[in-house]
Amino acid sequence: MAHTQQVKLLECCQVSPPIGSIPSTTLPLTFLDIPWLLFPPSQPLFFFDFPHTTSHFKQTILSNFKISLSLTLQYYFPLVGNLIIPPQPSKPKITYTSGDSVTLTIKESTYDYYNHLLIHHQKGVQDFHQLVPHLPQIGELLHVDQELKYSLLAVQITIFPNCGVSIGFSKRHVVADERTSNNFLKTWAGIFRNGLELYLPVLNKNLPYCDRSIIRDTNGVEPIMWNQKNVPKLANGNFSDMVRSTFVMGRPDMEVISGWIMSRSKKLFGSAQLLLSPYVVTCSFIWVCWLKANMDNIEDSIDKTEPHYFGFIAGGITRLGYPVPISYVGNCIAFGRAMARRNELLGENGILFAAKTIGDTIKELNRNVLGRVENWMSDWKVFNGSGLHMTVTGSPKVDLYSLDFGWGRPKMIEEISIDKTGDVSLCESRDMSGGIEVGLALPLAKMEAFYMLYIEGLKNLH
């Protein structure tokens, strides 16, 4: 935990779409974008094996990285634009003007630490902070007396000589969701490997769709959202004792948890049919372990009935009731908020209660994904103002590990922003078919407690 990653700056440059490829464009924020306006940037970080020297990377790889990024940005031009926040009553918007660019930073690790970063358990969070670019946090939107402009995307490549490379991002969620980000990365990698001319037939099958008028505000909630902007709570910035760990929930463990839940479900919930997808099973188990690890004294608190919330996002592309292209560039996700009482979650049937409320929330979203859309902002204010609440970010349905720049799949993927947000990250497992990787960042003592609860919890369910 005492080591801190050391890197040195090699180059910092600006990458724009090809000159003249995109006209100046203004994009309004849809009601699906507005909730993310004040959220901190997401910071995904990908590690790839690359057993070559820094000079080899600079001479044979770097130029193509820049060119392929430039070509990709012409199709995903909102990412290279800026978020404009004007004085009220004008509304924030995204603009692209010819010459806008993304900052690309190239760094080199001066410490042989690559293999340590790839282990799953107890890595100091500060070892990762120099591997991702940083975008400034957006402050309050009220009382702005002059127009403010914020970049939406930054990229950093860090070379670990003779070992590997990492590619880190900082992206504002207001411009695009994880589905869009994944499409952007796959396009960039495809153009990098093949060149635009050879990759164009693939790209033409699902050209990025940037027209935000496709999103219909049929419930008229946009004015409500502008009046109830969501300001998330962030960690205090003291990372000296915080560690990161990744837990892999495999299919066999999911089946054990699911079987245990079903064996007790009838007694508590009668004939009610529970939704026990891999996502629900994994999240219910993780939620209970996380809550117990974060409780100061479980024995004193077990009988209390105060609510605890579980927050997540749900894809909206297939749930809106009208067609939206899968290549849509923007946000097309909904909020889910499940609730259970403390005595339920900390009792002997905690996992069952967690699975019931998460599954019921997903069922409701399946029936009507926008059913509570007018309450999203107020719901999340209640959520953020509550005691111990857990939020998951990411989705195991987004195949991040299929990203390939020509060096094979990523060796490891981390979401660095969870250090500040306190979220739990999810993605598909790299090595276990059907498995889910769960990423956490906690103070060391709480991480050790979570680890024991996770291991012992699975053992007791067998």
Give ∠ CA 358-361-365 in degrees, rounded to 5.
Answer: 135
Query: What pLDDT shows up at residue 345?
Result: 95
394 pLDDT above the threshold of 80? yes
376 pLDDT above the threshold of 90? no
Q: How far apart are CA 292 and CA 258, in angstroms?
A: 20
124 pLDDT above the threshold of 60? yes
Summarize the confidence of residues 246-275 as an average pLDDT.
Answer: 94
Long-range pairs for 139-142 at CB < 8 Å and ≥24 separation?
Answer: 140/38, 140/231, 141/37, 141/38, 141/85, 141/88, 141/92, 141/229, 142/88
Among 90, 258, 104, 88, residue whose Cα is nearest residue 170: 104
Residue 172 in tokens: 């504002």
- Pick from 69-78, 297-306, 329-338, 416-425: least confident: 297-306
Instruction: Kindly state the DSSP code that residue 367 receives in the 8-state scheme.
Output: H
Query: What pLDDT shows up at residue 68?
Result: 98
Q: How far apart are CA 188 and CA 231, in angstroms?
A: 32
459 pLDDT above the threshold of 80? yes
Q: How far apart are CA 245 and CA 438, in angstroms?
A: 8
Summarize the confidence of residues 22-35 as an average pLDDT.
Answer: 95
- Rounded percentage of the chain residues whose pLDDT exceeds 70: 94
Residue 23 in tokens: 């006209």
Q: How far apart are CA 79 and CA 152, in angstroms?
A: 6
Tell me which residues are annotated as active site. 173, 404
413 pLDDT above the threshold of 90? yes
- Pick from 185-199, 375-389, 409-423: least confident: 375-389
Exposure class string for 95-129: b at 16+ Cβ within 10 A, else e: ebeeebebbbbbbbbeeebbeebbeeeebbbbbbb
Query: What pLDDT shows up at residue 141?
Result: 60
DSSP bridge partners of 170: 154
**Hey, CA dihedral for 403, 408, 409, 412, is it positive or negative?**
negative
pLDDT in tens, 29-67: 999 999 998 889 999 999 999 999 999 999 999 999 999
- Pick from 41-50, 209-218, 369-378: least confident: 369-378
- Rounded percentage of the chain residues whose pLDDT exceeds 90: 77
Residue 266, Cα to own-chain centre: how many angstroms? 35
Q: How far apart are CA 49 and CA 408, in angstroms?
A: 8
Q: Torsion angle of alpha carbons 29, 35, 37, 39, nearest 10°?
A: -150
pLDDT in tens, 129-142: 999 999 988 866 65
13 pLDDT above the threshold of 60? yes
Q: How far apart are CA 395 and CA 426, in angstroms?
A: 5
Q: What pTM did the predictor assign?
A: 0.95
236 pLDDT above the threshold of 80? no
298 pLDDT above the threshold of 60? no
Summarize the confidence of residues 174-195 as an average pLDDT.
Answer: 96
If you average pLDDT over every residue of the chain, what do you get? 92
Confidence category of residue 301, pLDDT binned at 50, 70, 90: low
Contact 217, 30 (CB under 8 A): yes
Confidence category of residue 272, pLDDT binned at 50, 70, 90: confident
Contacts of 211 (CB under 8 A, 6+ apart): none
Confidence category of residue 126, pLDDT binned at 50, 70, 90: very high
Query: What pLDDT shows up at residue 142?
Result: 55
> What are the CA-CA distances from residue 41 to residues 137, 201, 375, 449, 461 (Å)?
8, 32, 24, 29, 38
Confidence category of residue 387, pLDDT binned at 50, 70, 90: confident
Summarize the confidence of residues 411-422 as an average pLDDT.
Answer: 95
Q: How far apart are CA 67 and CA 32, in angstroms?
A: 32
300 pLDDT above the threshold of 70? no
Query: What pLDDT shows up at residue 191?
Result: 97
Summarize the confidence of residues 282-292 as an average pLDDT.
Answer: 97
Confidence category of residue 258, pLDDT binned at 50, 70, 90: very high
Summarize the confidence of residues 116-136 as an average pLDDT.
Answer: 92
Contacts of 46 (CB under 8 A, 6+ apart): 166, 167, 168, 400, 403, 410, 412, 413
Using a 10 angstrom Cβ sphere, with 0-12 exposed, 13-18 middle and 19 or more buried, the burial of residue 179 is buried
- Containing 257, the helix (H) or strand (E) segment is helix 251-269
Query: What pLDDT shows up at residue 282?
Result: 98
Query: What pLDDT shows up at residue 238?
Result: 75
Confidence category of residue 110, pLDDT binned at 50, 70, 90: confident
- Pick from 360-364, 368-372, 375-379: least confident: 375-379
Between 42 and 146, whose confidence is greater?
42
3 pLDDT above the threshold of 60? no
Confidence category of residue 156, pLDDT binned at 50, 70, 90: very high
Query: What pLDDT shows up at residue 382?
Result: 81
